Amino acid sequence: MTSDSHLSPADHPLEEDVERVLIDAETLQARIQDLGRDIAETYAGQDLLLLAVLKGSVIFLADLMRAITIPNAVDFMAVSSYGIGVQSTGVVRILKDLDAPIAGRNLLIVEDIIDSGHTLNYLVRMLKERNPATLRVVTLLDKPARREVNIPVDWVGFSIPNEFVIGYGLDYNERYRNLPYIGVLKPDVYTAEE
Ligand code: PRP
Protein backbone atom coordinates (compact mmCIF):
# COMPACT_ATOMS: atom_id res chain seq x y z
CA MET A 1 0.00 0.00 0.00
CA THR A 2 1.32 3.43 -0.88
CA SER A 3 0.48 6.81 0.52
CA ASP A 4 0.56 10.10 -1.36
CA SER A 5 0.90 13.29 0.65
CA HIS A 6 -0.57 15.28 -2.30
CA LEU A 7 -3.95 13.69 -1.87
CA SER A 8 -6.60 13.63 0.79
CA PRO A 9 -6.93 10.35 2.74
CA ALA A 10 -8.01 7.18 0.96
CA ASP A 11 -11.37 7.19 2.76
CA HIS A 12 -12.19 10.72 1.52
CA PRO A 13 -15.22 10.41 -0.84
CA LEU A 14 -14.26 11.35 -4.42
CA GLU A 15 -17.57 13.15 -4.95
CA GLU A 16 -16.65 15.74 -2.31
CA ASP A 17 -13.88 17.03 -4.60
CA VAL A 18 -16.23 17.51 -7.56
CA GLU A 19 -17.47 21.06 -8.05
CA ARG A 20 -20.16 19.95 -10.51
CA VAL A 21 -20.98 17.24 -13.02
CA LEU A 22 -20.17 18.50 -16.51
CA ILE A 23 -21.30 15.46 -18.55
CA ASP A 24 -23.36 12.78 -16.82
CA ALA A 25 -23.02 9.05 -17.47
CA GLU A 26 -26.16 8.79 -19.57
CA THR A 27 -25.11 11.66 -21.86
CA LEU A 28 -21.66 10.11 -22.25
CA GLN A 29 -23.09 6.75 -23.26
CA ALA A 30 -25.55 8.25 -25.76
CA ARG A 31 -22.79 10.22 -27.48
CA ILE A 32 -20.43 7.25 -27.53
CA GLN A 33 -23.10 5.11 -29.20
CA ASP A 34 -23.40 7.82 -31.91
CA LEU A 35 -19.63 7.94 -32.37
CA GLY A 36 -19.43 4.15 -32.58
CA ARG A 37 -22.16 4.00 -35.22
CA ASP A 38 -20.51 6.71 -37.29
CA ILE A 39 -17.06 5.08 -37.02
CA ALA A 40 -18.50 1.68 -37.97
CA GLU A 41 -20.05 3.21 -41.09
CA THR A 42 -16.79 4.93 -42.04
CA TYR A 43 -14.78 1.70 -41.82
CA ALA A 44 -17.45 -0.75 -43.02
CA GLY A 45 -15.78 -3.67 -44.82
CA GLN A 46 -12.31 -2.46 -43.89
CA ASP A 47 -9.60 -3.30 -41.39
CA LEU A 48 -9.72 -1.16 -38.23
CA LEU A 49 -7.03 -0.86 -35.58
CA LEU A 50 -7.84 1.28 -32.55
CA LEU A 51 -4.85 2.86 -30.86
CA ALA A 52 -5.65 3.90 -27.32
CA VAL A 53 -3.36 6.37 -25.62
CA LEU A 54 -2.95 5.34 -21.98
CA LYS A 55 -4.09 5.87 -19.41
CA GLY A 56 -6.97 8.30 -19.63
CA SER A 57 -8.60 6.81 -22.72
CA VAL A 58 -9.12 3.28 -21.39
CA ILE A 59 -12.66 3.78 -20.13
CA PHE A 60 -13.70 5.60 -23.29
CA LEU A 61 -12.04 2.88 -25.36
CA ALA A 62 -13.87 0.11 -23.50
CA ASP A 63 -17.24 1.67 -24.26
CA LEU A 64 -16.36 2.92 -27.75
CA MET A 65 -15.02 -0.38 -29.07
CA ARG A 66 -18.26 -2.08 -28.04
CA ALA A 67 -20.26 0.63 -29.81
CA ILE A 68 -18.27 -0.03 -33.00
CA THR A 69 -20.11 -3.08 -34.28
CA ILE A 70 -17.67 -4.00 -37.07
CA PRO A 71 -14.57 -6.11 -36.32
CA ASN A 72 -11.77 -4.09 -34.74
CA ALA A 73 -8.44 -4.71 -33.03
CA VAL A 74 -6.80 -2.65 -30.32
CA ASP A 75 -3.26 -1.69 -29.37
CA PHE A 76 -1.91 0.72 -26.76
CA MET A 77 0.68 3.43 -26.40
CA ALA A 78 1.72 5.14 -23.22
CA VAL A 79 2.98 8.69 -23.42
CA SER A 80 3.67 11.32 -20.85
CA SER A 81 2.81 14.94 -21.45
CA TYR A 82 1.74 16.53 -18.19
CA GLY A 83 3.95 15.11 -15.47
CA ILE A 84 2.42 15.66 -12.05
CA GLY A 85 0.04 18.60 -11.98
CA VAL A 86 -2.44 20.52 -14.10
CA GLN A 87 -0.52 22.34 -16.84
CA SER A 88 0.59 20.75 -20.11
CA THR A 89 4.29 21.20 -20.81
CA GLY A 90 4.37 20.31 -24.52
CA VAL A 91 6.97 17.66 -23.78
CA VAL A 92 5.93 14.20 -25.01
CA ARG A 93 7.74 11.05 -23.93
CA ILE A 94 6.96 7.59 -25.29
CA LEU A 95 6.70 5.25 -22.32
CA LYS A 96 5.26 2.27 -24.22
CA ASP A 97 5.18 1.82 -27.97
CA LEU A 98 2.73 -0.21 -30.07
CA ASP A 99 3.13 -3.99 -30.01
CA ALA A 100 2.99 -4.42 -33.80
CA PRO A 101 3.74 -2.58 -37.07
CA ILE A 102 0.95 -0.43 -38.51
CA ALA A 103 2.02 -0.21 -42.18
CA GLY A 104 -1.06 -0.61 -44.36
CA ARG A 105 -3.47 -0.59 -41.41
CA ASN A 106 -6.40 1.78 -40.86
CA LEU A 107 -5.34 3.40 -37.61
CA LEU A 108 -7.77 5.25 -35.38
CA ILE A 109 -6.18 7.08 -32.44
CA VAL A 110 -8.48 7.08 -29.41
CA GLU A 111 -7.88 9.95 -26.98
CA ASP A 112 -9.73 11.03 -23.89
CA ILE A 113 -8.91 14.74 -24.20
CA ILE A 114 -7.13 17.16 -26.49
CA ASP A 115 -5.86 20.16 -24.64
CA SER A 116 -2.81 21.99 -26.07
CA GLY A 117 -2.65 19.47 -28.96
CA HIS A 118 1.03 18.73 -28.39
CA THR A 119 0.55 15.06 -27.55
CA LEU A 120 -1.58 14.37 -30.59
CA ASN A 121 0.61 16.43 -32.89
CA TYR A 122 3.64 14.44 -31.83
CA LEU A 123 1.86 11.10 -32.12
CA VAL A 124 0.39 11.79 -35.55
CA ARG A 125 3.75 12.87 -36.97
CA MET A 126 5.51 9.84 -35.54
CA LEU A 127 2.85 7.35 -36.62
CA LYS A 128 2.55 8.71 -40.16
CA GLU A 129 6.20 7.82 -40.68
CA ARG A 130 5.19 4.19 -40.15
CA ASN A 131 2.92 4.35 -43.23
CA PRO A 132 -0.54 3.38 -42.01
CA ALA A 133 -3.11 3.18 -44.85
CA THR A 134 -5.20 5.82 -43.07
CA LEU A 135 -4.84 7.68 -39.79
CA ARG A 136 -7.82 9.27 -38.07
CA VAL A 137 -8.46 10.60 -34.57
CA VAL A 138 -11.38 10.32 -32.17
CA THR A 139 -11.38 12.17 -28.88
CA LEU A 140 -14.02 12.11 -26.20
CA LEU A 141 -13.29 15.65 -25.08
CA ASP A 142 -11.86 18.71 -26.77
CA LYS A 143 -10.78 21.90 -25.02
CA PRO A 144 -10.39 24.29 -27.98
CA ALA A 145 -9.59 27.31 -25.79
CA ARG A 146 -6.31 25.67 -24.77
CA ARG A 147 -5.08 24.71 -28.24
CA GLU A 148 -1.47 25.62 -29.06
CA VAL A 149 -1.00 23.27 -32.04
CA ASN A 150 -3.72 22.81 -34.61
CA ILE A 151 -4.33 19.24 -35.58
CA PRO A 152 -7.27 17.77 -37.51
CA VAL A 153 -9.61 15.67 -35.39
CA ASP A 154 -12.13 13.46 -37.15
CA TRP A 155 -14.55 12.82 -34.29
CA VAL A 156 -15.08 14.87 -31.13
CA GLY A 157 -17.43 13.62 -28.43
CA PHE A 158 -17.82 16.89 -26.55
CA SER A 159 -16.25 20.31 -26.85
CA ILE A 160 -15.79 21.58 -23.30
CA PRO A 161 -14.85 24.84 -21.56
CA ASN A 162 -11.43 25.48 -20.10
CA GLU A 163 -11.96 23.87 -16.71
CA PHE A 164 -10.05 21.10 -14.96
CA VAL A 165 -12.05 17.97 -15.61
CA ILE A 166 -11.76 14.57 -13.99
CA GLY A 167 -13.61 11.26 -14.14
CA TYR A 168 -14.44 8.66 -16.80
CA GLY A 169 -10.71 7.96 -17.19
CA LEU A 170 -9.36 11.44 -16.52
CA ASP A 171 -7.31 11.92 -13.40
CA TYR A 172 -5.76 14.41 -11.11
CA ASN A 173 -2.58 12.86 -9.65
CA GLU A 174 -3.93 9.42 -10.68
CA ARG A 175 -7.17 9.80 -8.71
CA TYR A 176 -10.80 10.20 -9.90
CA ARG A 177 -10.46 8.03 -13.06
CA ASN A 178 -13.22 5.74 -11.76
CA LEU A 179 -15.91 8.39 -11.48
CA PRO A 180 -18.64 7.40 -13.96
CA TYR A 181 -19.13 10.97 -15.23
CA ILE A 182 -16.99 13.93 -16.33
CA GLY A 183 -16.81 16.40 -13.47
CA VAL A 184 -15.10 19.69 -12.74
CA LEU A 185 -12.52 19.39 -9.97
CA LYS A 186 -12.86 21.85 -7.11
CA PRO A 187 -10.00 24.34 -7.57
CA ASP A 188 -9.04 24.12 -3.90
CA VAL A 189 -8.03 20.46 -4.46
CA TYR A 190 -5.15 21.48 -6.73
CA THR A 191 -4.44 25.04 -5.58
CA ALA A 192 -3.88 23.71 -2.05
CA GLU A 193 -0.83 21.86 -3.37
CA GLU A 194 0.80 24.61 -5.36
C1 PRP B 1 -3.77 13.62 -21.44
C2 PRP B 1 -4.58 13.09 -22.62
C3 PRP B 1 -3.71 13.40 -23.79
C4 PRP B 1 -2.98 14.63 -23.37
C5 PRP B 1 -3.62 15.83 -23.99
O6 PRP B 1 -2.91 12.62 -21.00
O7 PRP B 1 -4.85 11.73 -22.51
O8 PRP B 1 -2.83 12.34 -24.07
O9 PRP B 1 -3.06 14.74 -21.95
O10 PRP B 1 -2.94 17.00 -23.67
P11 PRP B 1 -2.29 17.95 -24.76
O12 PRP B 1 -3.30 18.13 -25.85
O13 PRP B 1 -2.04 19.22 -23.98
O14 PRP B 1 -1.03 17.33 -25.22
P15 PRP B 1 -2.10 12.72 -19.63
O16 PRP B 1 -0.72 13.20 -19.91
O17 PRP B 1 -2.91 13.46 -18.62
O18 PRP B 1 -1.91 11.19 -19.21
P19 PRP B 1 -2.98 10.11 -18.69
O20 PRP B 1 -3.94 9.88 -19.84
O21 PRP B 1 -2.15 8.91 -18.41
O22 PRP B 1 -3.66 10.67 -17.46
The DSSP annotation for the chain comes to ----TTS--TTS-GGGGEEEEEE-HHHHHHHHHHHHHHHHHHTTTS--EEEEEETTTHHHHHHHHHH--S--EEEEEEEESS-SSSS--S--EEEE--SS--TT-EEEEEEEEESSSHHHHHHHHHHHTT--SEEEEEEEEE-GGG-SS----SEEEEE--SS-EEBTTB-BTTBSTT-SSEEEEPHHHHHTT-
Q: What is the pLDDT of residue 77?
A: 97
What's the rounded Cα separation, in Å, for the pair 117 and 99? 24
Using CA atoms, how far apart are residues 49 and 17, in angstroms rounded to an integer?
Answer: 36
pLDDT at 8: 78
CA 71/CA 16 separation, integer angstroms: 40
| Ligand 1 midpoint to CA 186 (Å) | 20
Q: What pLDDT, in 10s, does the model give residues 117-154? A: 999 999 999 999 999 999 999 999 999 999 999 999 99
Ligand 1 centroid, distance to 54 Cα (angstroms): 8
Cβ < 6 A, ligand 1 pocket: 53-57, 80-82, 88, 111-120, 171
Asked about 154 being catalytic, the answer comes back as no
Residue nearest to atom 21 of ligand 1 (CA): 55
Answer for the pair 77, 96: CB distance below 8 angstroms, yes or no: yes
Ranges of the chain with pLDDT below 70:
1-6, 81-91, 193-194
Confidence at residue 95, expressed as pLDDT on a 0 to 100 scale: 93
pLDDT digits (tens, 9 = 90+) for 179-194: 999 999 999 998 876 5
Cα of 140 vs centre of ligand 1, distance in Å, is: 12
Give how far Cα 156 sits from Cα of 8, 19, 85, 110, 179, Å: 33, 24, 25, 10, 21
pLDDT of residue 3: 47
Which of these, 95, 155, 154, 85, lies nearest to 119 by C-alpha position?
A: 95
Report pTM.
Answer: 0.92
| Cα–ligand 1 centroid distance for 68 (angstroms) | 23
Given 17, 112, 115, 142, the catalytic residue: 115
Q: Which of 80, 84, 94, 115 to mutate to test the pocket of ligand 1 (most atoms within 8 A of CB)?
A: 115
